[in-house]
Amino acid sequence: MASDKAGRESDVVHCRNVRQSGLRITEPAEVDKEYMASVFANCTQTWLESIKYHLGYQLDFNFDYAALNTLQPFPLNNFGDPFTKSNYGVNSKQFEVGVLDWFAHLWEIENDEYWGYVTSGGTEANLQGILMGFAQLHYQVNIGTTFKGAIDDLDLVIQTLAECGFSRNQFYIHCDGALFGIMLPFVEQAPQITFKKPIDSASVSGHKLLGCPMPCGVLITRIEHVNALSKDIEYIASRDVTITCSRSGHAPILLWYILSKKGRIGLQKDIQKCLQNAKYLRDRLRNAGVSVMLNELSNIVVFERPPDEEFIKRWQLSCQGNIGHIVVMVNVSKQKLDAFLDELTEKLSTWSKEGAHRCVAFDIGYENCVCLLHSPRRGYCFCFFYRISFDNNNRGRDNGDNRGHVLYNNWRGWLWSRGGSYSNNNASTESQPSNRSVPA
C-alpha cells in the first residue's frame, strides 16, 4: 500500500507493485565466460533500448566517460572530510575539492568561507543540510520541484523571516537545487542561488543535468556550521561530519571530468537547448489538443496522463495521479520528441473514442486544461477531481442548475455535466474550474 497526500493508504500505482526478479548468483564452477558475456550483452542491449525511449526522469545520457576506464580497478574511497588528508592514500580528494570549489564559485561564496562534500545523491545532501541546521528554525527552499518544476520564492522567504522579527542566527535556509541549482545560474533574469543572500546551504544532483553515470550530489554550506559538528576520528586520521563516512572516490572524478570538458559555456548551451526543446514540446502538445503546462524557467513538461499504460511504460513516463511529465534533458532531441509526438498523435484518435479528456484543472490550472468543462467545445464531460470539497447540502444532490449530477464520496467528487457550469467556493483560486458555461 502507498499513502496519498492526505496520509491515507491507497493502492500502489501501475507497475510499482510488480516484484523485480533477480539474477541468481552461482558458484564459480557453475559459471563460464560465455555465460557471463551473454548476461552482460543482454543487459547492455536492454539498457541501450531503454535509453532510446527514455523521457520521464531527470537523468542525462549525453556524455562519454570512456577515457576514465583506466580508473575502474582502483578502490577509491574518500571517507572523512574532503579537506583533510587521511592515512588512506587511494582517494580522489583533490578532484573532490576541485568540484566543490567550482560550485562555491557558481553560488558565490569564497573558498575559505565554505565547507562541503560530494554525496551519494541529492537526498543525502538535503539530509546533511537539515543536520547542519537542526538547532535553528529550518526552512528548505525548493529550487525546482521534482514533478512540475516549480520554484520557491527565496527572496520572499527571506523577506518574511525579516518581517516576522527573526534575526540572522535564528534561522537556517537550505536550498534544494537538485536539477535547477545548476541551471538557473546560466539563465538570464532567473532567481539565483547565491550565498550573498542569507542562505546557509545548497545542494545539487550530479547525475541529473551533468550526466554522471552513478548517483551523486554536491552539498555546499557555510563553514561555521560544520565547525560546530565535526570531530576527529583517530583510526582514519581525519575529521568527519558526513552522514556516510565512506564515500565514492569515482564520482568526484566523473564530476570533475565533465565540468572540465564542458565548461561554463558548454553548460549554458546545454541548458538553453533543454529550455527551448521544452517549449517546443509544450507547443506541439497544445496544438494536438492535450492539456499541458510548462512552468517558467523549467524543462519539465506536465500533461494529462495517457490512458494507455503500455504507452507510458514504453516511453518511461513518470506519472502521478491524473498527470504525467517529460523532463527535457540534453539527450532529449527534437527528433526524439517528434517520434514521441507522432506516436501520441496517432493514438489520440483511439483514446478519444474511449472517452473525453480527463479534467486536470486541479493539477495544472484550468487555463491549461482542455477537458470539455474548460474548453469552448460542445459535448459531454466526465471529469475526475481530486480534493474537491462539496458543501454538505450538495452531497448526492443536483448541483443547482439541473444540468448535472454530483456524487459525493468523502473528499472526491465525480462530475457528469453537459453544458452548465461548476463552481466551488471551498476550492482555491488556482484549482477552481472556470465558471464559464459550455454552450448547450
> What residues contact residue 172 under an 8 Å CB cut-off, 6+ apart?
132, 133, 136, 137, 138, 139, 200, 201, 225
Lowest mean pLDDT among 31-35, 100-104, 110-114, 200-204: 31-35
Euclidean distance between CA atoms 131 and 138, whole angstroms: 10
Euclidean distance between CA atoms 378 and 335, whole angstroms: 35
Q: Average model confidence (pLDDT) for the chain?
A: 80
Average pLDDT estimate for 130-143: 79
Average pLDDT estimate for 129-148: 83
| Whole-prediction pTM | 0.78
Q: What are the backbone dihedrals phi and psi of residue 248, each rounded to the nearest 5 degrees, phi first?
A: -60, 130
Q: Can you give the pLDDT at residue 438?
A: 30
* DSSP character string of 338-398: HHHHHHHHHHHHHHHHH-PPPP-HHHH-GGG--STTTSS--SEEEEEESS----GGGTTSB
Euclidean distance between CA atoms 362 and 384, whole angstroms: 10
Euclidean distance between CA atoms 220 and 260, whole angstroms: 19
| pLDDT of 6 strictly over 70 | no
Q: Can you give the pLDDT at residue 431?
A: 36
Q: Which three cell numbers stand for residue 310?
A: 503500455
Euclidean distance between CA atoms 402 and 29, whole angstroms: 77
Indicate where the chain has its CATH 3.40.640.10 domain(s). 1-351
Greater pLDDT, 114 or 141: 114
Q: Reduce the DSSP state of residue 267 to 3 states and report it.
A: helix
Residues 175-188: tens digit of each pLDDT: 999 899 999 999 98
Packed helices 334-354 and 250-287: angle between N→C axes, nearest 10 degrees: 50
Greater pLDDT, 18 or 117: 117
Whether the CB-CB separation of 118 and 231 falls below 8 Å is answered with no
Euclidean distance between CA atoms 343 and 332, whole angstroms: 16
Range among 26-30, 244-248, 338-342 with highest mean pLDDT value: 338-342
Fold of 1-351: Aspartate Aminotransferase; domain 2 (3.40.640)
| pLDDT of 163 strictly over 90 | yes
| pLDDT of 2 strictly over 50 | no
Average pLDDT estimate for 298-326: 95
Average pLDDT estimate for 126-146: 82
